[in-house]
Amino acid sequence: MASIDADPTYRALLALSSHIGADRRLVQGAGGNSSIKMADGVMWIKASGTWLADAQQRAIMVPVGYTRMAAALASGDPAAARQQDFIAVDLAAGNLRPSIETGMHAVIPSRIVVHVHCVATIARAIRADAEAAIAPLLEGIDWRFIPYAKPGVPLAEAINAVSPAPVYVLGNHGLVVTSETVDEAAALLADMSARLGAPRRQGFVPDLAGLAALTAGTNYVPAAEDALHAAADPALTPIAARSLYPDHVIFLGRGVPVIRTDETLPEKADLVLVEGAGAVLAQDASASARAMAGCLADVLSLLPNGVRVPPLSEADEDALLDWDAERYRQKIARI
């Protein structure tokens, strides 16, 4: 059998994956995933903890028997929660696990599935009025809104419960586009990102001197990017203090510590917001944590004044943190 690497559609998907993985407005760190279904019943999907940005530089795709996984999900088989059990071992190389979202990709009938953590989408999908606010922007598009469900089996089941569509907006999570060709997926993704975009907030000026004084002699440094400081706007810090979407919880923990300039920095945190002054990062923060800090700032920068943003519940946070699949993703993302 010819190598999958010789398949032009597969190579095109790798190119698209690399492109979107390098755009922090669409994907941050190890987030997001893409897949392609082949005629032999095998789906190639991004491996857990790997970065889409690396798609053309290293092996990040894993072969999975997607028809078997879809059947397991449909029958309520507990095995559906163990993505690695569905690896097509005769085609696999290395020890990577399939994405946590393998079930979601498996139940969507389209050949190409691309899931991104588009900040424009997240900024709308975290709102209390998300579905109603998004509907006018997607006029003419066949789409589905999926209220927040834990990634993995619960999300796959939620998507399988609705009729298939080219576009899924995932509450408190992100965006999924589906198609039969890579070019169609790329065009649809660009269209959705443009439709869901919003003006960035303006006017916040960080107190860099104050942040430098606060972090002197500590394990923290002021954020190097101006965009990150905007999350410390007093109008936004009550929202930032709570978890808003899954990857934040996985790579930054529960919410974000928010302190005043006259308070002491916490002993350990990757990101701290100093209200009215700006953002500081731990010097040893991982690349994934730094990417998620940028994501949070980008999402918050697109929120209008006065919008209600319900956070993930403590039970939602617990379900994400007490989960072997996500601990594995954290481990791989640090390698």
Decide if 223 is inside a domain. yes
Of 75 and 324, the one with more pLDDT: 75
Q: What is the mean pLDDT of residues 111-126?
A: 98
Decide if 203 is inside a domain. no
DSSP letter assigned to residue 313: P
Please check the confidence at residue 1 and state whether its pLDDT lies above 50.
no
pLDDT over 90 for what percent of the chain?
A: 89
Identify which of 88-97, 241-250, 314-323 has the greatest average pLDDT.
241-250
pLDDT value, residue 334 = 52
* In a shared domain, residues 170 and 300: no
* In a shared domain, residues 250 and 113: no
The burial of 234, by beta-carbon neighbours within 10 Å (0-12 exposed, 13-18 middle, 19 or more buried), is given as exposed
The dihedral formed by the CA atoms of 232, 236, 240 and 246, expressed in degrees to the nearest 10: -130
* In a shared domain, residues 144 and 107: yes
**Can you list the positions of beta strands (E) in 180-284?**
220-222, 258-259, 271-274, 278-282
Asked if residues 288 and 29 have their Cβ atoms less than 8 Å apart, the reply is: yes
pLDDT over 70 for what percent of the chain?
A: 96
* In a shared domain, residues 214 and 188: no
* In a shared domain, residues 215 and 160: no
Decide if 83 is inside a domain. yes
* In a shared domain, residues 216 and 188: no
Of the candidates 146, 163, 196, which is a domain's last residue?
A: 196
Please check the confidence at residue 329 and state whether its pLDDT lies above 60.
no
Of the candidates 139, 161, 196, which is a domain's last residue?
A: 196
Asked if residues 160 and 149 have their Cβ atoms less than 8 Å apart, the reply is: no
Sheet holding 278-282, edge to edge: 220-222, 278-282, 271-274, 258-259
Structure confidence at residue 193 as a pLDDT band (50, 70, 90) = very high
pLDDT value, residue 322 = 80
The total of structural domains in the chain comes to 2
Decide if 179 is inside a domain. yes
* In a shared domain, residues 56 and 153: yes
CA 97 → CA 34, 51, 72, 181, 303, distances in Å?
Answer: 14, 13, 18, 25, 35
Q: CATH number of the domain that 175 lies in?
A: 3.40.225.10
Cα distance between residue 252 and residue 243, in whole Å: 9
* In a shared domain, residues 117 and 251: no
Provide the mean pLDDT of the chain: 93
* In a shared domain, residues 192 and 217: no
Reported as type and span, the H/E element at residue 36 is strand 33-37
Asked if residues 301 and 256 have their Cβ atoms less than 8 Å apart, the reply is: no
Structure confidence at residue 225 as a pLDDT band (50, 70, 90) = confident
Please check the confidence at residue 325 and state whether its pLDDT lies above 60.
no
* In a shared domain, residues 180 and 293: no
Please check the confidence at residue 126 and state whether its pLDDT lies above 50.
yes
* In a shared domain, residues 34 and 75: yes
pLDDT digits (tens, 9 = 90+) for 251-301: 999 999 999 999 999 999 999 999 999 999 999 999 999 999 999 999 999
Decide if 202 is inside a domain. no
pTM: 0.94
* In a shared domain, residues 225 and 162: no
Looking up tokens 């897949």 gives 35
Decide if 201 is inside a domain. no
pLDDT value, residue 93 = 82
Structure confidence at residue 94 as a pLDDT band (50, 70, 90) = confident
pLDDT value, residue 331 = 59
pLDDT value, residue 95 = 86
List residues bridging with 177 in a β-sheet.
114, 167
Looking up tokens 């975009």 gives 197
Please check the confidence at residue 327 and state whether its pLDDT lies above 80.
no
Residues 6+ apart with CB under 8 A from 313: none
Range of the domain at 67: 4-196
Q: What is the mean pLDDT of residues 22-28?
A: 96
Decide if 39 is inside a domain. yes
Of the candidates 169, 196, 223, which is a domain's last residue?
A: 196
Structure tokens at 91: 């085609």
